């Protein structure tokens, strides 16, 4: 079993085709960040000699869909699945939290309390998450499937962390080597502090997380902060394999054209925890001073935006600077990034903010545009931007400094030289990350060869 951090191995011997079974909840046609990491991993692992089978829900009602993602699947990748049970959906159908079918009466005085009950039930009874009812039927189905389709490796990716508990059952019953991939942490995931957890439920989460970390043959995480957290539980066999970008997505793009207005672009979900307060304050300051106008600067938000964010922009008198658009197919994202003056990266304002590295930051790097990060100046995202010379980070009290930075960007744009001189971005290509996974996978499957 390999030890320590895997960065970029130079040799990845693959003498024969090996077979892996990936357990994931998010898979095309699902859209969003949850699907990208392993969609791209499978693409490049196939090139490295791995025969990949994907286990995912056959019925998942994905909130976001992107049919174009299926084009990234290489020939020969097999998808299997079963009907996924979702406890949250069952609660809605039962009438708890609103009318049966999930529709609460608009003016009902009990709606808020009913929703509070649903939130409490989901937090304290459905551990690790609302997909937990899918664990037992998935394990039964896959044990039978594995009898006729032997595999060299199991890989589970979460969240939802239900996928790890399915894999744990298979590991215990079959002995097949198992790699547990954490796209986000479990107990310390950013929304956990919002949940009304009892002490019992928190201990249950901690026990399950610890069990997965110790029983998996290897574990991968995506940020240095989470690596340190998990190495406190398991000193060896935890590997840093960051997210990345696919160079193929950034080929044949039109170059950036330095024209006014300066466009600041954010792509993806902006929930309440990602409200870019510092940006709104900086824009309000410059607007009040008469130093910007909508002809000079625009903010484009592509994707879902929490209403509280829009309200703050209106209250500060800068709503006219905002353009909000619905989500785009992922295939259209690289050109939007490349064509923008600067890119906005908002880090969740949560207790774990310093460890957060959103998946989109790597595609931001690949686009080669200046990045404005709103988050902890000593966090993982800030360190990445400094390491690659790709942008600057502004904390909650940095509105004055951000306002000056925006004026500097405008001056550079007027001078026709709004560019960044990056370094080391190629280390974060999806091919490089897949090579790291292949090295770990080969090591644990060889160590536990059956």
CA separation for the pair 236, 219 (Å, rounded):
9
Question: Percent of the chain scored above 70 by pLDDT?
Answer: 90
pLDDT at 47: 94
CA dihedral 286, 288, 290, 294 (to 10 degrees): 70
Contact call for residues 27 and 163 (beta carbons, < 8 A): no
Name which residue leads in pLDDT, 429 or 112.
429
Q: Which domain range does residue 420 map to?
A: 248-427
* pTM reported for the whole predicted model: 0.87
Cis peptide before 160 (omega within 30 of 0): yes
> What is the distance between the alpha carbons of residues 384 and 1, in angstroms, rounded to a whole number?
29
CB 233 within 8 A of CB 210: yes
Same domain? For 237 and 312 the reply is no
pLDDT at 100: 39
Average pLDDT over residues 178-198: 91
* Positions of E strands within 39-196: 50-57, 78-82, 153-158, 178-182
8 A C-beta contact, residue 1 and residue 217: yes
Per-residue pLDDT at 87 exceeds 80:
no
Domain identity same for 370 and 386: yes
Provide the pLDDT confidence category of residue 178 given band limits of 50, 70 and 90.
very high
Confidence band, pLDDT 50/70/90 cuts, at residue 1? very low
> Do residues 321 and 337 both lie within one domain?
yes
214 and 230 together in one domain = yes
Residues 71 and 195 in one domain: yes
pLDDT at 408 over 90: yes
Closest Cα partner for 164 from 291, 293, 55, 51? 55
Q: Clarify whether residues 70 and 155 are in a common domain.
A: yes
Q: What average pLDDT does the structure give for the chain?
A: 90
335 and 286, same domain (yes or no): yes
d(CA 160, CA 139): 16
Query: Quick one: tokens of 238?
Result: 């935890």
Radius of gyration for the alpha carbons in the chain, expressed in angstroms and rounded: 23
Dump pLDDT digits (tens) for 108-130: 444 456 677 878 888 888 999 99
Quote the number of domains for the chain. Answer: 2
394's tokens: 């502004």
* pLDDT exceeds 60 at position 410: yes
Tokens of 211: 């069990």
Q: Are 237 and 2 in contact (CB under 8 A)?
A: yes
In tens, the pLDDT along 137-147 reads 999 999 999 99
For 56, what's the count of Cα atoms within 13 Å in the CB-facing half-sphere? 25
The pLDDT tens digits for 255-271 are 999 999 999 999 999 99
Q: H helices within 125-184, ranges in order? A: 135-148, 162-174
pLDDT given for residue 43 in this prediction: 96
Cis preceding-peptide flag for 128 (omega within 30 of 0): yes
Residue 116 phi/psi, 5° resolution? -65, -35
In a domain, 3, yes or no: no
First to last CA, the chain: 15
pLDDT value, residue 85: 82
Q: How far apart (Å, rounded) are the C-alpha atoms in residues 217 and 178?
A: 5
DSSP type of residue 330: G
Half-sphere exposure of 335 (CA within 13 A, CB side): 8
- How far is the CA of 338 from the CAs of 293, 332, 335, 357, 372, in angstroms? 23, 11, 5, 20, 15
Domain of 389: which CATH number?
A: 3.40.50.2000
**Res 433 pLDDT > 80:** yes
Averaged pLDDT, 205-225 = 97
Residue 8 in domain: no
**Does the pLDDT value for residue 15 go beyond 70?**
no
DSSP state of 256: P
């Amino acid at each position: 079993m390999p030890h320590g951090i895997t960065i970029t191995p130079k040799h990845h011997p693959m003498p024969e085709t090996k077979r892996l079974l990936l357990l994931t909840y998010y898979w095309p046609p699902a859209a969003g960040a949850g699907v990208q990491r392993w969609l791209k991993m499978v693409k490049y692992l196939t090139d490295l000699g791995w025969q990949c089978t994907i286990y995912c829900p056959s019925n998942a009602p994905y909130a976001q869909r992107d049919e174009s993602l299926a084009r990234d699947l290489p020939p020969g990748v097999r998808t299997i699945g079963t009907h996924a049970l979702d406890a949250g959906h069952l609660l809605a159908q039962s009438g708890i939290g609103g009318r049966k079918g999930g529709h609460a009466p608009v003016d009902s005085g009990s709606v808020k309390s009913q929703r509070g009950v649903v939130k409490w039930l989901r937090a304290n009874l459905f551990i690790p998450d609302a997909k937990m009812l899918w664990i037992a039927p998935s394990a039964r189905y896959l044990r039978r499937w594995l009898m006729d389709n032997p595999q060299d490796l199991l890989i589970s990716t979460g969240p939802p962390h239900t996928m790890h508990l399915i894999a744990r059952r298979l590991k215990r019953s079959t002995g097949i080597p198992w790699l547990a991939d954490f796209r986000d942490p479990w107990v310390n995931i950013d929304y956990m502090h919002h949940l009304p957890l009892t002490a019992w439920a928190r201990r249950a989460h901690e026990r399950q997380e610890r069990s997965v970390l110790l029983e998996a043959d290897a574990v991968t995480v995506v940020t240095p902060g989470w690596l340190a957290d998990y190495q406190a539980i398991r000193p060896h066999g935890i590997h840093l394999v960051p997210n990345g970008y696919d160079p193929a997505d950034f080929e044949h793009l039109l170059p950036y054209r330095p024209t006014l207005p300066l466009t600041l672009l954010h792509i993806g979900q902006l929930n309440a925890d990602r409200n870019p307060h510092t940006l709104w304050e900086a824009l309000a300051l410059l607007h009040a001073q008469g130093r910007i106008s909508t002809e000079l600067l625009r903010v484009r938000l592509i994707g879902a935006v929490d209403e509280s964010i829009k309200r703050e922009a209106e209250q500060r008198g800068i709503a006219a600077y905002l353009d909000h658009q619905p989500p785009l197919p992922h295939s259209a994202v690289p050109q939007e990034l490349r064509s923008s003056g600067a890119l906005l990266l908002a880090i969740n304002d949560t207790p774990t903010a310093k460890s957060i590295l959103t998946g989109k930051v790597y595609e931001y790097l690949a686009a080669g545009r200046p990045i404005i990060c709103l988050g902890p100046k000593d966090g993982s995202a800030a360190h990445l931007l400094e390491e690659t010379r790709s942008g600057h980070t502004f904390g909650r009290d940095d509105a004055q400094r951000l306002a000056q930075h925006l004026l500097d960007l405008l001056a550079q744009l007027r001078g026709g030289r709004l560019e960044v001189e990056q370094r080391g971005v190629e280390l974060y290509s999806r091919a490089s990350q897949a090579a790291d996974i292949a090295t770990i996978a080969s090591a644990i499957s060889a160590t536990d060869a059956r």
